[in-house]
Structure 1
């Protein structure tokens, strides 16, 4: 799938009553979107919760917007300027003085300090590993001090932490698990109505950036990717990110719509890899993970599941083609092989003590090599990929069984490490640098024992070489050539262990109603990454759109 990605859980008839994008059945200043939620929405507007359904960017804002689709200076949001001291241990931030919370109270530096303190003190909310200490010098200035040079924390603190109102959140004794039924933010939208199958955001008339032209955003729940295709054909959705048949001919097959496809995330089989942190199953053996890696026919998977929109991927998890120059020379495979190497997979398993049985499946100590891989029901591209992969794995003596779950069940299992394998995408961070992917998904600081929520090192991977390289990268400003040796060290360790088994670099296809709204991101104007589930980018799109004719 594509991250939070897909469609959701009602019938098309319900979708049609919710609004018609390319035809008339609702106000033309309402944007209908489909994010990929499978099943009923579970109310949670806590932007720091792994099961939140909306909020980052739309309701709660960062200090700055970093656009990973175009490497330029960050856009001021609640912050207007920032500056590092000479050794990268102190970050001074200037805030805007004209922002208010949606309940009318003024946004000040006290809210920023409160938010940073709350994140630092609450591991389950601290997905960026923030360890700074914030102090307000007056209502519009904050200084963040770090225990060591922390240049790489800049985009994370400034672009990935959502500012929260102190006057409300100071009353929450367990902020990580607060579902936040009545969100109060500074963003361009506030919560409208909420139902299990659909909810709306309404334009904030007091927004510091001006009330958006799109007065309402309606989020639909559909039954899966096919329902999304049907909704697109019916003109009942304005924006969705996901696969559709014959996307190359979208303007012919779906009148009024256009599409854009860009590489972003890296599709992988996530493994609960670390037995020391409580993971159980054959996937805790690196030999099994690498056998699966070599047993894949990625060319076939790309053709059958992804319409050949995906591209090659490096086992070092640099994003290609963006990071071509950063790929480590020490990798055995610069790129994951597109064709299977059955002999290599057999050699890995045999050397690890597995013996092939009469049924063609390897076993060890009497236990067959059989694994379950979790996927969200309705994510048809990922489901097709897994069904294809399951057939491929039989050739190397591995039994793989896809298991479809609701998004909520899948996300909970992912966060708590209660799975053997699952399919998802490794996302990028706030700036175009692989450091952020590494620090999020491969750092000991961002994982937790099975049963506790990881944020977001879901594989439970822990490696001292990687941790040390990340510590050195954090101290070194972007552009310093000495960074490459640390990238090299990380990539070699990731290929050696493969806690996330590389599949393909995901080409992210997005379809949008060009007849009903103007101002969409295009390849010539990538002011935000154009995916409806990409946060806070989606909020940038919402405020940039205008109903056609205005």
Structure 2
């Protein structure tokens, strides 16, 4: 019997993240118009009143890429491609049916059966069936570079509207990843290289369709044949600007309708920007990620865990929150269990379950000296002729992160560590991160599809790849056999199995000691949006989706909920 999504399940899947990105992940007057976008007639029946102008934080020109599996995808993928279900990361709720309508595990957690909608077509008019689901997951299984969830099951079409996922072992924790995976059309993607092709003319089942691309902006228009009805929002236009300051200026001039990022006096958006409002949610965990593994080809002082631990102690997080994040960030656990909503999963063996708020330069120095480092005449520690001097990569125009690095540079210097920053375009920053060409990179780690520490552990702390090869999510290139084994064992346990506690303890003890991602704070993700032009935005009382323009599936739900205020 397939369970209805509205009924309690025998085997539950966590539904959302209480209290509030992605896997995605980083916070962050455009020249050159686009046909079918901007002012006046927007194409597809769109006008200025029914066109939403969004800024994703892109600094510099876009390079066309609508491949939903590519780390360089430029945005909007959740509006073109859909998963089987939507999992809300902003609050606890049941998964929302999209291409799927029902799902159920068998008694031992080895077979997941999903029922699909029977009235869905792709935007080119071809029908969506179970064969598209089978094709998508076979492609993921056969392409390790895009198989971030480590899918190794067997996908079968029982009929056009029923698909099964079969595993050798119980695999309950895979349900949110399976149900939240983008589905692509088999009739087109049979000829696509999913690791290299940029998919210039995307086709999906989503509520919007591709319209036009220019390096400074691209547009999608409402899908008139969408299975859930054509959206009231008729067009979305994504702009590239020059960074956070340009985003704030565009907000002040009323030339954008939605951005997610810092603006001056962020606590008082509705007063400072008439017609706009803001919502903040804390979820994405900000880190100084390290290229951590010498075995995988990483070079630099950061390959030593003692250096990573020392930098962790050197950071004054209260000062960072004040200087860089306007008080919107919150505390973070070095276990990467989200606090406070996941603190029940933090092992009692972790002596300091929350990162210190103040700096401890003496403690940082003691860690380095115990590891054989000595402070040089320039005040910087060194060992075997290598100074503890580290370069950190950041995207040009990301003013909050740049300010944070400026502060960390001073704080680290007090602890005998030298930090130098390099600013580059988002495309170059992404390439360095994916291929391991960095020492440190400031970034945020998303929480995955459901409120459980398993997902960050599986995404970011397993599957190390050599420098020079695309890393997927695990860009720190960290690997530990005990962590790998514990993550694998967790896949076989239901979410309420008490045996998970010991496995979490094993993982947490290793990653707190090794610290391949140096915890900074849990970022306060703040969106500002035009409430005078559109209704239906999430509110603090109704966070029906995580409020971030760059969180693709959440943004897609928001676009579908919006309605222009103009008659």
TM-score by length of 1: 0.95
1:426 is aligned to: 445
Conservation of the 8 A alpha-carbon contact between 2:34 and 2:217: no
Distance in 1, matches of 2:401 and 2:33, equals 23
**Residue 192 of structure 1: aligned partner:** 211
Q: Residue 167 of structure 1 corresponds to which residue in structure 2?
A: 187
Could you tell me which residue of structure 1 aligns to residue 524 of structure 2? 507
CA deviation after TM superposition for structure 1 residue 481, in Å: 2.9
* Structure 1 match to 2:459: 440
After superposition, the C-alpha distances for 1:437-464 in whole angstroms (9 at most, x for unaligned) are 11101112xx311111112111001112
Q: 1:485 to 1:4 in 2, by over 3 A?
A: closer
Cα distance in 1 between the residues matched to 2:107 and 2:150: 22
Please give the alpha-carbon distance, in whole angstroms, between the structure 1 residues aligned to 2:472 and 2:312.
Answer: 25
Distance change in 2, residues 1:34/1:5 (3 Å): farther
Of 395, 413, 422, which aligns to 1:376?
395
Residue 492 of structure 1: aligned partner: 509
Matches within 5 A, 1:254-273: 254-273=273-292
Instruction: Tell me how far apart the structure 1 counterparts of residues 81 and 107 of structure 2 sit (CA, whole Å).
Output: 31
Which 4+ residue blocks in structure 1 deviate beyond 3 angstroms? 1-7, 11-21
Deviation at 1:540, TM superposition (A): 0.2
The residue that corresponds to 1:92 in the other structure is 113
Query: Which of residues 433, 439, 450 in structure 1 aligns to 2:467?
Result: 450
- After superposition, give the CA deviation of every residue in 1:178-221 in whole Å (9 maximum; x if it has no partner): 11011111111111110001000111111111111111000000
1:352-392, Cα deviation, whole Å (9 max, x unpaired) = 22121111111222222211000000000000000111111
Match of 1:126 in 2: 147
- Find the counterpart in structure 1 of residue 561 from structure 2: 544
* Map of 2:552 onto structure 1: 535
**Matched-pair contact (CA < 8 Å) for 2:33–2:216:** no
For residues 240-261 of structure 1, the C-alpha deviation after alignment (integer angstroms, 9 at most, x for no partner) is 1111111222111100000111
CA contact 1:33–1:532 (8 Å) conserved in 2 = yes
* 1:82 matches 2:99: no
Task: Tell me if 1:208 matches 2:233.
Answer: no
Q: Which of 52, 69, 73 is the equivalent residue of 2:90?
A: 69
Instruction: State how 1:298-377 maps to structure 2 within 5 Å.
Output: 298-377=317-396
| Shift, 1:73, TM fit | 1.4
Q: 1-side partners of 2:64 and 2:39: how far apart?
A: 25
- Alpha-carbon distance, 1:94 to partner: 0.7
Aligned position for 1:101? 122
Deviations 1:13-48 (A, max 9, x none): 769997489xxx952110011111121111110000
In the superposition, the TM-score normalised over structure 2's length comes to: 0.92
1:16 and 1:400 map into 2 onto residues whose CA distance is 41
- After superposition, what is the alpha-carbon deviation per residue over 1:155-193, rounded to whole angstroms, capped at 9, x for unaligned? 00111x111111111112x22111101111111111111
Give the whole-Å Cα distance in 2 for the aligned partners of 1:286 and 1:330.
19
1:12–1:231: 8 Å Cα contact kept in structure 2? no
Tell me the distance in 2 between the aligned counterparts of 1:301 and 1:138.
55
Task: Tell me which residue corresponds to 2:15.
Answer: none
Spell out, residue by residue over 1:321-363, the C-alpha distance to the aligned partner (whole angstroms, 9 max, x if none): 2112222211131111111111111111112221211111112
Identify unmatched segments of 5+ residues in structure 1: none
Q: Distance in 1 between matches of 2:54 and 2:269?
A: 18
Is the deviation greater in 110-119 or in 488-497? 488-497
Equivalent residues of 2:79, 2:208 under 8 A apart = yes
Matched positions, count = 540
**Offset at 1:407?**
0.2
2:404 equivalent to 1:397: no
1:148 aligns with 2:178: no
Instruction: Measure the CA separation in 2 of the matches of 1:472 and 1:232.
Output: 48
Partners of 1:448 and 1:460 within 8 A in 2: yes
Assess if the C-alpha contact under 8 Å between 2:27 and 2:444 holds in 1. Answer: no
Deviates further, 491-500 or 318-327:
318-327
The reply to whether residue 137 of structure 1 matches residue 158 of structure 2 is: yes
Counterpart CA distance in 2 for 1:42 and 1:311 is 34
Structure 2 gaps of 5+ residues are 1-20, 41-45
- 8 Å contact 1:6–1:37 — kept in the other structure? no
Q: 1:156 to 1:4 in 2, by over 3 A?
A: closer
2:493 aligns with 476
Pick the aligned partner of 2:483 from 466, 470, 488.
466
The equivalent of 1:52 in structure 2 is: 73
1:114 aligned partner: 135
Q: In structure 1, how many angstroms separate the alpha carbons of the residues matched to 2:457 and 2:386?
A: 34
